[in-house]
Every structure is written in structure tokens, then in C-alpha cells.
Amino acid sequence: MKIGTQNQAFFPEDIKEKFRYLQEAGFDGFEIDGKLLVDHLDEVKEAMAETGVPVTTACGGYNGWIGDFIEERRENGLAEMRQILEALQQVGGKGIVVPAAWGMFTYRLPPMQSPRSQAGDRKAVTKSLLYLDKAAEETGTTIFLEPLNRYQDHMINTLADARSYIEENQLKNVKIIADFYHMNIEEDEISEALHENRDLIGHIHLADNHRYQPGSGSIDFKKHFDRLKQDGYEGFLTIECRVRGNDPEAEYKRALAFLKESLR
């Protein structure tokens, strides 16, 4: 297993300098914003060639969710996701991370009455995934379907929820991304859920129980990494977290060292 990262505020803004920074810091890959990749594709290619740091996946960079309440916005989002998949194909990226939605609605906070039925939710998400499954096949990429916690999304909250869409629709190019932070809220036990869905887990996001940097909270990363090893997971572990502390850059590098030690 290798460790990747999303962008952080203290990373250099210049793309080539950003990739040099990742190389020097010891990251194995970069999960890039999809719009940044599409808009600066040639520069990203040059940065990858110079540093050897690969673009592993894309996350974000599109406007519209696969389960969006607004049909026009859902369709626009899908078109942008396809563009991102085409750009990923050019740089050898694995695929794109997509939740059903983020921050659109939750049953856990007012008004607690969704503007669409659960059957309507499932119809919209299914329609989107069928489209993206085909787009991923055509570009040689993968859709990483991400369950979010109940306070951020109302449609797909557990790995089992994501699995049901894949199995019911016989999706060949859709896998599950397991996010430790969301799993800490939604799953009965992280290692058990990882094991039960080992055949469909294709990507992993890392943050501690409070969404801050790994090693600063209560999640037993070594235990879960050992489970992944036993189950033969060979994909990326990508840090997706906020950072707190007097020196965020130093704290982030400390988190990377903590994760590498936990992998031993």
C-alpha cells in the first residue's frame, strides 16, 4: 500500500512546485482536484514526468452531484465528470471519487423532510452510475463511490449502501472508496466493514475520528491497515483531512510519518 494526499493550503500553488513538494515530503501520489487537472492537463503531465509523483485519482472539481435534486445540475455534473475521466486517462489516473451528494440534505438536521422520495433518490443515483460506468469503461478508469456520514448525505452512508448499487445494477467499473472518518461514524466496526467489502474496495481516504490529521485522534490505524493487508488490498491510502496545531505543515508531515509506521 502507498500513501497519497489531497491538496493542503500550505502546499505550493504552482503546479510543478506542488509536485516537487510532494516528492520531497515522501508522498507516493496525489489526488487532484478534477477541474485543476482538466484546466492544466499539460502542466500536470510535465510535473509528473519531472518528479515521478503520479496523479492517482481525482476528487471534486465538478458542479452537480450524481444524486442531485436538480436534474439540470445532475446532468451538468456528469458531463464534467466525464471530462475529468478523459483527463485521468491521459495521465494514467485510476479514477474519480464521487459521493451521492455532499451537504445537499440530511435527515439528521432540520427541515428533516426531503424534497424527493427515497425511490426518487435511488432512481437518480442509479441513472448517474449507469452513465458513469459506461464512461469509465470507455476511458479505462474507475468510479469510486463514496459513502458519507449521515450529517453530510442522506443517500449512501455505509459501505453496504454503496455495495447495493453496484450489485443491483451489475456495475463493472464502479468500486467503493472507504473513508475512515465516515466509517468511524457509520459502521459498527471499521475492520469488519473493510473485510466484508474487500472484493469491492478500490480506494481509501484517511482522517482521524474528528476529521483532523491521522494520529491525532482515536482511530486504530494499524489495526485496520493490518486487516487490509490480510485481505490483499494493494491500492492507495489517501489523506483527506483538516489539520490542526500551531504548525500545520509540521503536523501534516508528522501524520505521514505516523501512517508509514502504522503500515509496518
Residue 12: all three cell numbers together: 505550493
Q: Is 146 a catalytic residue?
A: yes
Sign of the torsion angle spanned by Cα atoms 207, 236, 57, 15: positive
Of 48, 254, 93, nearest in space to 262 by CA: 254
Of 146, 167, 187, 234, the catalytic one is 146
Q: Which contacts (CB < 8 Å, 24+ apart) does range 104-113 have?
A: 104/65, 104/67, 104/68, 104/69, 104/153, 105/69, 105/153, 105/154, 106/150, 106/151, 106/152, 106/153, 106/154, 107/150, 107/154, 108/150, 108/151, 109/151
Of 130, 162, 132, 133, nearest in space to 146 by CA: 162
Of 86, 137, 240, 251, the catalytic one is 240
Q: Is 75 a catalytic residue?
A: no
Q: Which residues carry out catalysis?
A: 146, 240
